[in-house]
Structure 1
Amino acid sequence: MLCWGNASYGQLGLGGIDEEIVVEPRRCEFFNGKVLRDVGCGRRHTVFLLGDGTVYTCGCNDLGQLGHEKARKKPEQVVALDAQNIVAVSCGEAHTLALNDKGQVFAWGQASDGQLGLGNIEECIRVPRNIKSLSEVHIVQVTCGYLHSLALSKRGQIFSWGQNKYGQLGLGLEGPGVSTPQVIQSLLGIPFAQISAGGAHSFGLTLSGAVFGWGRNKFGQLGLNDNKDRCFPSLLKTLRSQRVVYICCGEDHTAALTKEGGVFTFGAGGYGQLGHNTTNHEVNPRKVFELMGNVVTQIVCGRQHTLAFIPSSGKIDSFGLGGNGQLGTRSTCNRKSPAPVKGLWKAHNDPTPIEAEIEQLYCVKRIYAGGDQSFAHCQCPQNVSPPDDLRRHNCDQHVLTLKDDLIQKWLSHGHGRLLPEMTDEIDLVFSSASCLNGSFLSSSHPDHYCTSSKCSGVDANMARVLFHRLIQPDYPHISQQVAASLEKNLIPNLSSSPPDIEALRLYLTLPQCPLFSNPNTYITLAIPFAKAVISLKDAPLKVLGNWWSQIEPAVFQGLVELYKEVVVYLLRMQKVGIPPSEHRIFTCFLSTCLKFLDILHSFNRLQHPSPPTPATLPHTTPHPHHDPER
């Protein structure tokens, strides 16, 4: 482990050194022979997570942020977490969060603004405590702002708590903070891949690269072309087409990494932390041109500095505030454009040098920054694995989606009665709009990063294949659970005004599920689904219409045929005879299906108008979507 920057509180973990600042990477001997999993950097403290799930902290402990009362200058174990297998950590200005392998969150440190989520009114909590109000939710990611916290659940909800002076909780109002986690309702249904928090601003990033920001915006750190704070999440329209895959925040600036390895920065630039060779603030995302020509695979933000890792050369570039040595350039000067961090770096795929040189060379695995400190987790050249690539999402850390391996797992346990954990998992996926909206994403051209009002980003054929693999006569318990979750939880809670186009995808994929074409579930699934569609406001319905016009004719035709069948079924039921008390309900069902068919027909007609009469154009063939019988 190499570290550099402010050492005055012991936050670099180097022990009792004399220097207050370390201006170039220095080896932290504590980590020799240990496997490192994650690092969280606070304003003046640091948290290290080892591969065995144990947590070590060092630095300032004025508000209990270390979680122990041992020495502060070198990493010491947080013994209170000994029974937990911790998988992720994050630090605020003076508080710390840790996430265990069961999705539970532990918090300690400063509590003045409710940032621990414990509902308490104490100034600080010096020993880690479980956030009980999240115990029913499986959390997969946590991130801390200075005085607020965010968590992402497996079912796609973003929770926020703590200070709300600038609207950084995204709950729709500025002002009083909250001391227990709240769901950001306005983001429900969107499939999130990542969350990130800065000093007093927050971001959510979707699986397809849409970026939502909220909170403080004094310097343009939300990238929305102005300086107004936002208390509701706002979409950064300028980044939607840039294929963003990772986002990180400093105190008042933001950096985004694209799938191609490009870097955009925006917000406060007074120290050069945006890397644009100026000290201007930027209210719009702007590409860091000096990094172009290089593929960047890792970016991190400190308080007022930024680091970028370039695997082809094995080198780290830094820019921004340098007064505490946090740039690692052997100088305390600020840098307005990327400058190399000093060190003998080696790209992981370069030939291994002769033995004599090995000692001095470092292969970067992962970089970290926060406060005024920076870290590089490195490997010896002789036993190198590739460096981490933040452009690849870790599926354990985002919303759960329906994939081949998950279906296989359910089927392998699904012949008899389902195990409780399988039941819970099936229920989680089929009760959550976020999970279904993040499933079946297209990897062909155009892929799901091109999602727009014209392109859904989903592969309807993949949806059909996977649904048919899951819903089989041999696995009745699975089918029953899927049907129950859709009927009781998902469909009744669909919004007439979804927060984003990515929240509309399930309207394309769900009808591919064989349960919809089973007459036994027409009343409980197919008709309520049609009702949800006809309840949509004009704007989302128009997007859905665009998407229908793009799907394969057979898929569209299948949808029409399905609802024709439902209409015939309802007419037969009425003919056979139903109690007078139910006549009104059946008429209502019939009306719903006919309205739905009418919507399909109108979109089809708009897209493919009726051809002229044969007398005018004898050889005209109608478009395959166009069926005059409809």
Structure 2
Amino acid sequence: MSTKRKRAPAKKAGGKRGKRKEESDIDSDLSDRSDAENATQPDEVLIAGHGDALDDPTPLPQELLKSLIKPAGQLLIFGSVNWDSVGKRDPKAIQKVRPNLYIPHRFTEQKVRLAVSGCVSAHSVLVGEDGKAMTFGRNQFGQLGLDNTNTKDIPTVVPALENMNVISAACGRNHTLFLTDTGTVYACGDNRSGQCGVGNLQPQIVTPTRINYRGPPIIKVGCGAEFSVILDIKGGLHSFGLPEYGQLGHNTDGKYFKTSTKLCFNHETSPKRVVLYIEKSKDGHVSPVDVTEIVDFNCGQNHTVAIDTKKRAFSWGFGGFGRLGHAEQKDEMVPRLIKYFDSQSRGVRSVHCGSTYSLALTEHNGLFLFGQTKRSGEANMYPKPIQDLAGWNVQHIAAGFTSIILSADDSVIAWGGSPTYGELGIGEMQKSSTTPKEVNKLANMKILGLSMGMCHTLCIAQNDTPEQETKLETFDEFEP
């Protein structure tokens, strides 16, 4: 132990390295990091898919499923649809470059009840009305779960999950989690940091594989860039993958030196429960917080924010730009109480994380931002209300790389500083906006779901009435 403590200053260097990566040009943020040197730690003696011999899993309680399964509608897409080049500094020889979609387009005739991407993802998951999972987008590591690594422009049914009812999903940089109605999680894609949770460091998993988990049924899944978090039905949070900034919440960043100059990480290859929640006083005194149950959480690129039954918010992971809301830029190794929301009138209803920022919606419908959405300028070191949205009844929120979109009352509102790629949907005349702006094309539409990827937005619009159908028919169709 003492030798490790002597080496502690190396953490500082590691933090700087990560910060440079995050502050660098937007195009470099999806570049593929080689973690091959970290893959040398011994694998646990487990096989992929370990656990399939369990008793037949039973469906989650009916009441819970009703709240988790959303109504289906028409999928709309806008933003950059060049999956192989998006977010890469050097797009190389991309065969076909499509124009960005600056306004919402209809995409796929099939009704969709769930559309999911992630703030650093160039791929997406759709779930049809029948509960079948479909994927499309970048597939370099098999993150689409189609048993190959070919990019897909058209939503394609995931064969391994064809006979399952998928109720939720999450997308990381190059990996994907799927949640079925039995509370079982399947993962595929890049697993060089253990982010697929199958108990080993097999570099690529091209077919959805059951994660190595034996606890209570899972009711929510989330992905950061190279880590994953799952929430069980009893309110326990479990995390796995890359521990670099303390983002797993296990009180370590997992760093060790293989040689005097070679820094490696102890990856968490199976879900491990987050057991400690803390609060810090102004003078730095740390005391544990009694958290019996977590009810919701969301992952950013290298951080996580969670809410407990008392509507308190906790955050941990990479602290740069104030995205943890603690008025300091220090990384947090375990979930730390965000003091700002720890009062009667500021209970948190939902949390949404972008790459370098977080959003919290309070019980009284106040929307607060902490962190930084644009590449330059001021960062909110603690939660600050978004005054432009005071008085709006916010329903759905999606946070992307540097852009935000939400539905409130009968409007859809989006903003994001330049560069943007059409993910705001506000048209070609004004591609970016630093202040919340209404998406005119989506006015007076009933929005059922919103999700953002690295540079694209997925929106599900209700199409149950002839009037809604007629309005949607005025939208152009995106045909890859």
TM-score, normalised by the number of residues in structure 1 = 0.54
Equivalent residue number for residue 113 of structure 2: 36
Map Cα deviations across residues 350-380 of structure 1 (whole Å, 9 max, x no partner). Answer: xxxxxxxxxxxx4322221121111211023
Task: Give the 3-state SS of the residue equivalent to 2:340 in structure 1.
Answer: helix
1:6 aligns with 2:103: no
User: Equivalent residues in 2 for 1:110-129 (5 A)?
Assistant: 110-129=190-209
Distance 1:112 1:191, change over 3 A: same
Equivalent residue number for residue 236 of structure 2: 157
Equivalent residue number for residue 247 of structure 2: 168
1:329 aligns with 2:426: yes
Q: CA deviation at 1:240?
A: 2.1
Q: CA deviation at 1:260?
A: 2.2
Equivalent residue number for residue 318 of structure 1: 415
1:259 aligns with 2:338: no
1:240 aligns with 2:342: yes
AA at the equivalent of 2:421 = N
Identity level (%): 28
1:83 aligns with 2:163: yes
Maintained 8 Å contact 1:67/1:109? yes
More strand by share: 2
AA at the equivalent of 2:217 = H
Q: How many Å separate the matches in 1 of 2:391 and 2:311?
A: 22
Decide which of 191, 211, 218 is 2:313's aligned counterpart: 211
Decide which of 193, 197, 200 is 2:295's aligned counterpart: 193
Maintained 8 Å contact 1:363/1:384? no
Map Cα deviations across residues 127-179 of structure 1 (whole Å, 9 max, x no partner). Answer: 10001x31343111110000000011111211010011100000011123311
User: Equivalent residues in 2 for 1:592-607 (5 A)?
Assistant: none
Q: How many Å separate the matches in 2 of 1:290 and 1:65?
A: 38
Map Cα deviations across residues 158-214 of structure 1 (whole Å, 9 max, x no partner). Answer: 101001110000001112331111111114742211011100001211133100100
User: Equivalent residues in 2 for 1:331-350 (5 A)?
Assistant: 331=428, 333-346=431-444
Q: How many Å separate the matches in 2 of 1:98 and 1:381?
A: 27
Q: CA deviation at 1:333?
A: 4.0
Equivalent residue number for residue 379 of structure 1: 462
AA at the equivalent of 1:190 = T
Decide which of 132, 140, 158 is 1:54's aligned counterpart: 132
Q: CA deviation at 1:344?
A: 4.5
Map Cα deviations across residues 31-90 of structure 1 (whole Å, 9 max, x no partner). Answer: x24242342345111111123221101111111111113661110010111122111100
**Unaligned runs of at least 5 residues, structure 2:** 1-74, 87-94, 255-265, 278-289, 469-480
Task: Give the 3-state SS of the residue equivalent to 2:441 in structure 1.
Answer: coil
User: Equivalent residues in 2 for 1:477-626 (5 A)?
Assistant: none
Map Cα deviations across residues 310-362 of structure 1 (whole Å, 9 max, x no partner). Answer: 12x3333333444211111214643221012240521xxxxxxxxxxxxxxx4
Map Cα deviations across residues 282-316 of structure 1 (whole Å, 9 max, x no partner). Answer: 110000011113221221101111112112x3333
Q: How many Å separate the matches in 2 of 1:210 and 1:378?
A: 32
Distance 1:108 1:384, change over 3 A: farther
Distance 1:17 1:382, change over 3 A: farther
AA at the equivalent of 2:252 = L
Q: How many Å separate the matches in 1 of 2:393 and 2:324?
A: 24
Q: How many Å separate the matches in 2 of 1:135 and 1:83?
A: 22
Task: Give the 3-state SS of the residue equivalent to 1:120 in structure 2.
Answer: coil
Decide which of 10, 14, 23 is 2:102's aligned counterpart: 23
Maintained 8 Å contact 2:83/2:151? no
Map Cα deviations across residues 442-490 of structure 1 (whole Å, 9 max, x no partner). Answer: xxxxxxxxxxxxxxxxxxxxxxxxxxxxxxxxxxxxxxxxxxxxxxxxx
**Unaligned runs of at least 5 residues, structure 1:** 273-278, 347-361, 386-630
Map Cα deviations across residues 223-244 of structure 1 (whole Å, 9 max, x no partner). Answer: 0000000001100010123121
More helix by share: 1
Distance 1:234 1:293, change over 3 A: same
Equivalent residue number for residue 306 of structure 1: 404
AA at the equivalent of 1:258 = T
The CA RMSD over aligned residues, in Å, is 2.3
| Deviant stretches of 4+, over 4 Å | none
Decide which of 74, 90, 114 is 2:154's aligned counterpart: 74
Task: Give the 3-state SS of the residue equivalent to 1:343 in structure 2.
Answer: helix
Q: CA deviation at 1:383?
A: 6.3
Decide which of 158, 177, 182 is 2:272's aligned counterpart: 182
Maintained 8 Å contact 2:84/2:151? no
Distance 1:60 1:71, change over 3 A: closer
Maintained 8 Å contact 2:191/2:204? yes
Q: How many Å separate the matches in 2 of 1:109 and 1:325?
A: 27
Distance 1:262 1:17, change over 3 A: farther
